[in-house]
Structure 1
Amino acid sequence: MNYRHGYHAGNFADLLKHTALCELLRLLTAKDKKLLVLDTHAGAGGYDLAGSQARRTGEAEAGIVRLMAEPRAGMPGAVARYLAAVQAYDRKFGPAGGALQRYPGSPRLVRAALRPGDRFIACERHPEEALKLKREFAGDRAVEVRQADGYHAVKELLPPAERRALVLIDPPFEANDEFEVLTRAVRHGLRRFATGCYAVWYPVKDEAPVATFIDSLAGVKYLNMELDLGPSTPEGKLAICGLVVINPPWKFEEAMREALPWIAAHLGDGVSASFSTSPPNAPAQA
């Protein structure tokens, strides 16, 4: 329980999962039906890019800061919308036009997309991070913050009364058995609520557990995306990460197949994006 996302806020992994998250929220809220959003490992909510944690790693400089400097002309729609959401959050803390100071974690991106009647439950197990998250949303009745194990929340909250849900599972991967725990949680969620949309982030440090996890999704519809920084990544640094979206909404894959290669091309030489999908005979979910 020592993980702090402040060291990694706005890095290449965030570019992948938060571009996808913004697009999922846009598409899922386009329907005139209520939605539950569950964030199982929510973190602190927002992050200070000028703070000691972010400055120590410099990961935001090679990620979100680099993308924000790109001209908007010709930029894929999903990327432009994500950057606009980042900019809107940052403007709450300072004037427009200056250097990016604050980065929105997934809870802030979710909150910005909520409509009246939607529900958002953000879980964070780490006591200090949970306290920061509660302070981030103090007085905001649209957000329920729980200091809790998000995996347990999957069991507790599904199926939702709304009959529609987006479940974001973004673990810190500190434990050696994280992939096993994650796989059980996803299986349990699908048994309880097979038509839900699940977005699951993972690091690629060892290909074997990743392959086992993806194999466990046999029989469901999914889109798997990976972003690879290439062989020039310093030793010991995460170079590849992925996001699998189960039951993606219509047009999501099309948007991400345009956005992710564009992001890779603008992060630097050697960066690449790849996609894989469920077998053709996997049943489509509503």
Structure 2
Amino acid sequence: MNYRHAFHAGNHADVFKHITTLAVCDALLAKPSPLFALDTHGGRGLYALDSNSAQRTGEAEAGIGRLIAEAPRHPAITRYLAAMKACRAQHGPTSYPGSPWLLAHALREEDRIAVCELLPEEAAQLKANFAGDPRVATHTRDGYEAMKALLPPRLGELRYNRGLVLIDPPYEAQLLEFDTIIAALRDALVRWPNACYGVWYPIKLRRSLNQFFRRAATLPVKSSLLAELMVHPDDSPLRMNGSGMLLLNPPWQFDTTMREALPLVQKALAGSDGSWRVEWLKQAD
């Protein structure tokens, strides 16, 4: 695997994914029972936007840079920007939080987090970044294998009945990755059916995703939701034109939150060139 997220940290896909992830966390936190979160492809969890990797692509300027400049007023966006501010207060003005950092920032003392990263160099940095947080366990292992090993989550005598599994692979296998994702979800839903599962996916040509959507609609859950943000028309297979999140067992009224927030994110990042959608694949009765 050759993918390094440091080149892409803070881009439009990260902004979308992280707003969505924080909104899911906040919705889950509305209930007092403890949560468990599993991030299957966590990277290093924390990035520097002044690094050579980030500067080489400049993708953050069109992502988090634009969102900070525009600062649209919606609770989900304000929440994300507040997390950005907290990260930079702790780690420096050019720092950028990955999803493991955001999970640790959002969740409570009684909650627990497991983060997986397969690349040894990235995993070592991930471990160093969370060495002082007893809530976070880092694993140098394949994230799909970890879903089998760690779900359902049991820590000591405590079993966690609620939580989030975030699946965000690098898609080096391209569309074949979806075969692995669907199989992992089917197995995980047997093991931990009450969890919310979030699958991030890149969008080049949306029609190439139709088979994935059809298969996702057959998964044994009461509800499944698609949320997407496009910064370009989905007519070029040579670039990532946008990204989406498949949410299984999404929190109550989460679709409303996304329908309100995504038009504002689209306007800030893409203007009239962009688009968004929130659509149910399966809706509970």
Q: TM-score, normalised by structure 1?
A: 0.91
Is the CA contact (8 Å cut-off) linking 1:46 and 1:105 kept in structure 2? yes
Q: Please give the alpha-carbon distance, in whole angstroms, between the structure 2 residues aligned to 1:214 and 1:22.
A: 24
Q: Please give the alpha-carbon distance, in whole angstroms, between the structure 2 residues aligned to 1:275 and 1:140.
A: 35
Secondary structure, in 3 states, of the residue corresponding to 1:69?
Answer: helix
Amino acid at match of 1:201: W
After TM superposition, the structure 1 = structure 2 runs for residues 62-77 of structure 1, keeping only pairs within 5 Å, are 62-71=62-71, 75-77=73-75
Q: Please give the alpha-carbon distance, in whole angstroms, between the structure 2 residues aligned to 1:170 and 1:142.
A: 21
Secondary structure, in 3 states, of the residue corresponding to 2:70?
Answer: coil
Q: How far apart are 1:142 and its partner, in Å?
A: 1.3
Alignment equivalent of 2:81, drawn from 63, 79, 83: 83
Stretch moving more, 23-32 or 216-225? 216-225
User: Given the alignment of the two structures, is residue 144 of structure 1 paired with residue 147 of structure 2, yes or no?
Assistant: no
Q: How far apart are 1:234 and its partner, in Å?
A: 8.7
**Paired position in structure 2 for 1:199:** 198
Is the CA contact (8 Å cut-off) linking 1:179 and 1:209 kept in structure 2? no
Q: How far apart are 1:217 and its partner, in Å?
A: 2.3
**Paired position in structure 2 for 1:51:** 51
Is the CA contact (8 Å cut-off) linking 1:224 and 1:277 kept in structure 2? yes
Amino acid at match of 2:102: L
After TM superposition, the structure 1 = structure 2 runs for residues 202-241 of structure 1, keeping only pairs within 5 Å, are 202-207=201-206, 210-219=209-218, 220=221, 221-231=223-233, 236-241=238-243
Q: How far apart are 1:248 and its partner, in Å?
A: 0.7
Q: How far apart are 1:268 and its partner, in Å?
A: 2.6
**Paired position in structure 2 for 1:118:** 111
Q: TM-score, normalised by structure 2?
A: 0.91
Q: Please give the alpha-carbon distance, in whole angstroms, between the structure 1 residues aligned to 2:205 and 2:76.
A: 30
Amino acid at match of 2:99: S
User: Given the alignment of the two structures, is residue 21 of structure 1 paired with residue 21 of structure 2, yes or no?
Assistant: yes
Q: How far apart are 1:231 and its partner, in Å?
A: 4.0
Q: How far apart are 1:276 and its partner, in Å?
A: 1.4
Q: Please give the alpha-carbon distance, in whole angstroms, between the structure 2 residues aligned to 1:78 and 1:32.
A: 20
Q: How far apart are 1:26 and its partner, in Å?
A: 0.9
Q: Please give the alpha-carbon distance, in whole angstroms, between the structure 1 residues aligned to 2:173 and 2:79.
A: 34
Q: How far apart are 1:202 and its partner, in Å?
A: 0.6
Is the CA contact (8 Å cut-off) linking 2:34 and 2:162 kept in structure 1? yes
After TM superposition, the structure 1 = structure 2 runs for residues 123-272 of structure 1, keeping only pairs within 5 Å, are 123-160=116-153, 161-176=159-174, 177-207=176-206, 210-219=209-218, 220=221, 221-231=223-233, 236-269=238-271, 270-272=273-275
Greater share of helix: 2
Q: Please give the alpha-carbon distance, in whole angstroms, between the structure 2 residues aligned to 1:14 and 1:192.
A: 29
Aligned identity (percent) is: 45
**Paired position in structure 1 for 2:156:** none
Q: Please give the alpha-carbon distance, in whole angstroms, between the structure 1 residues aligned to 2:133 and 2:125.
A: 14
Stretch moving more, 170-179 or 208-217? 208-217
Is the CA contact (8 Å cut-off) linking 2:255 and 2:278 kept in structure 1? no
Secondary structure, in 3 states, of the residue corresponding to 1:18?
Answer: helix
Q: Please give the alpha-carbon distance, in whole angstroms, between the structure 2 residues aligned to 1:279 and 1:9.
A: 32
Stretch moving more, 234-243 or 265-274? 234-243
Is the CA contact (8 Å cut-off) linking 2:118 and 2:142 kept in structure 1? yes
Instruction: Give the unaligned 5+ runs of structure 1.
Output: 95-99
- Number of aligned residue pairs: give it: 275
Instruction: Give the unaligned 5+ runs of structure 2.
Output: 154-158
Provide the aligned C-alpha RMSD in A.
1.9
Q: How far apart are 1:278 and its partner, in Å?
A: 2.2
**Shift in alpha-carbon separation, 1:267–1:118, aligned structure 2, 3 A:** same
Q: Please give the alpha-carbon distance, in whole angstroms, between the structure 2 residues aligned to 1:34 and 1:174.
A: 34
Q: How far apart are 1:191 and its partner, in Å?
A: 2.1
Output one character per residue of 1:53-104: Cα deviation in whole Å (capped at 9) or x when no partner: 11111110000011111245xx11100101110111011133xxxxx50100
Amino acid at match of 1:85: A
Q: How far apart are 1:11 and its partner, in Å?
A: 0.6
**Paired position in structure 2 for 1:12:** 12
Stretch moving more, 84-93 or 217-226? 217-226
Q: Please give the alpha-carbon distance, in whole angstroms, between the structure 2 residues aligned to 1:234 and 1:10.
A: 22
Secondary structure, in 3 states, of the residue corresponding to 2:229?
Answer: strand
